[in-house]
Amino acid sequence: MGDSSTSYESLLDLCVSSAMGPVRNFNCEQLNILLSDDSKIDSIIDNIPHVRNLPTEREMGLVQNKSLAEWNLTQEPLLEELKKNLLETYEEAFFTVCIAESLTEKRSLNTSSALLQTAVQAAEDESEAIADRFLNKEIEVEQFLKEFLEKKTLAHMRKVKSDKLLATLRQQDYPSLPNQATPYPVHENNFYPTPPATRHSFWLIYAVCRRLWSTCKMVIQLMLAGSSLKNSVQCRWFASLREMALAKGPRHIYEPLFDEKKRCPDYGMVHIRLQGYDYVPLEKYQSYVHKIAKRFEFNVKESYSVAATTERVVTFRPHTTIVESEVVLSIYERVLNIIEAPSVYLPLFISLIRAHIPIGIKITVKKYEKDDERRRYIPDVMLKEKQNELKDLDNPVVRRNLGWE
């Protein structure tokens, strides 16, 4: 779409430049004749090389479209076969999905949670049995460490999965409950790090490692104490609340949210008016101003055109008041309205667009007013006349003349 618009604009520029070549050498009389005689304008346009080539290009385009359409028709059997294969594949996939859903319905999440909790308790019982065998000197230290750590690791991993599954079931049962997690402060400069998306993955693994380490320390203490202190050693197979508590770093400490106020104020609505006698340069310059405003990240509320107005230009003979020539010029206008423009960047923006303003274009930057909105609309002359007639009917003299009173 962008390439086609660019080629169209370039072709339009070439045609305008080709047509304006002979017109620039005309005098005032020839220009007046040209304005009054449309056939001369048509002859100038028809003599443009690009315009003469348009019928040939049109025929070539029709031939190319016809050949492309014929080639598309030859591809119809292949497309039909591919559509048939796609339909068969979709039916097979739908049948497979139905089978998978029927299999998953046979085992609910509640049943899986209960089985997982039973497996956790079984792993804990096996680890305690291994510890009792070690205290009774039935197994060696190496064998005890290997079997005990394996069972404890398995029990803790099952415990983590069971807790995660229970949390998922609670969320399904109570979906409307709000999240009670402490909100983290937000800062524009990213001074505070972003918390992880889920706290379960990292911190639960961290808790498992701490519990395993506490268990290993207890085993080492038992090994050092020996069998004579077997009855006096207090065996504690589960970690305390202090050990189970998660160690929170500075980033997890709550701090209040500070709202930073803007040091530099913003303008309300800025009205930018572009006026020129030539339509093409004005349209291009309006597009340029719009792009620069977007690069400054300004909020462009509106960008529209206003109905063209006319201006009468008269030249007089030297040292007389006799009119020598009279020209009526059309004034085209484009408008941009920008809201909440920062006062720091707006002067830079105005200086930039003024530095690149084309010749013959006038730019006005001012505060938005209600009169600017009224200038946007074209007055309806017939409606104004009917309104005046209705007002005249309220006059007693007019009503008496019409015989209404």
The percent of residues above 70 in pLDDT, for the chain, comes to: 74
Contacting residues for 268 by C-beta, under 8 A, at least 6 apart: 339, 340, 367, 368
**Measured distance CA(364)–CA(270) in Å, rounded:** 10
- Asked if 274 and 289 count as a contact pair (C-beta separation under 8 A), the reply is yes
| C-beta atoms surrounding 305 within 10 Å | 15
Q: Find the mean pLDDT for residues 186-194.
A: 46
What percent of the chain has pLDDT above 90?
16
274, 362 Cβ separation under 8 angstroms: yes
| Residue-level pLDDT at 29 | 77
Q: What is the mean pLDDT of residues 396-400?
A: 83
DSSP notation for 269-319: EEEEEEEES-HHHHHHHHHHHHHHHHHTT-EEEEEEEEEEEEEEEEEE-TT
> Is the pLDDT reported for residue 236 higher than 50?
no
Q: Of residues 390 and 239, which shows the higher confidence score?
A: 390
Tens of pLDDT, residue by residue over 383-396, are: 888 888 888 888 88
Collapsing DSSP to helix, strand or coil, 37 comes out as coil
Cβ atoms 349, 274 nearer than 8 A: no
Average pLDDT over residues 169-181: 61
How confident is the model over 49-96, as pLDDT tens digits? 777 777 888 888 888 888 888 888 888 888 899 999 999 999 889 888
Those residues whose C-beta lies under 8 Å from the C-beta of residue 12, and which sit 6 or more positions away, are: 280
The model's pLDDT over 129-157, given as tens digits with 9 standing for 90+, comes to: 888 888 888 888 888 888 888 888 888 88
DSSP 266: B
The confidence score (pLDDT) of residue 349 equals: 93
What does each C-alpha distance from 263 to 80, 260, 343 come to in angstroms? 66, 9, 10
256-260, 283-287, 312-316: least confident range: 256-260
Give the distance, in angstroms, between the CA of residue 363 and the centroid of all CA atoms in the same chain.
Answer: 32
Higher-pLDDT residue of 57, 196: 57
Nearest to 217 by CA among 155, 160, 145, 122: 145
CA angle 306, 32, 37 (to 5 degrees): 90
Which pLDDT score is estimated for 232?
A: 40
Sheet of 361-367, strand order: 299-316, 323-339, 269-276, 361-367
Integer distance in angstroms from the first to the last C-alpha of the chain?
Answer: 67
- The pLDDT of residue 115 is 82
Sign of the four-CA dihedral 364, 370, 371, 376 = positive
Find tokens 């009119």 and name the residue: 323
pLDDT of residue 332: 92
Instruction: Give the least confident one: 165-169, 237-241, 374-378, 387-391.
Output: 237-241
Contact between 346 and 268 under an 8 Å Cβ cutoff? The reply is no
> What is the Cα 402 distance to its own chain's centre?
65
Main-chain phi, psi angles of 78, to 5 degrees: -65, -40
- Give the pairing of strands 323-339 and 361-367: unpaired
Confidence of residue 233 (pLDDT cuts 50, 70, 90): very low
User: pLDDT-derived band of residue 283, with 50, 70 and 90 as boundaries?
Assistant: very high
What is the pLDDT, as a whole number, of residue 190? Answer: 46
Q: What is the reported pLDDT for 123? A: 86
So what's the pLDDT on residue 225? 52
Q: What is the pLDDT of residue 5?
A: 58
Q: Which residue has the tokens 């048939």?
A: 84
pLDDT classification of 192: cutoffs 50, 70, 90: very low
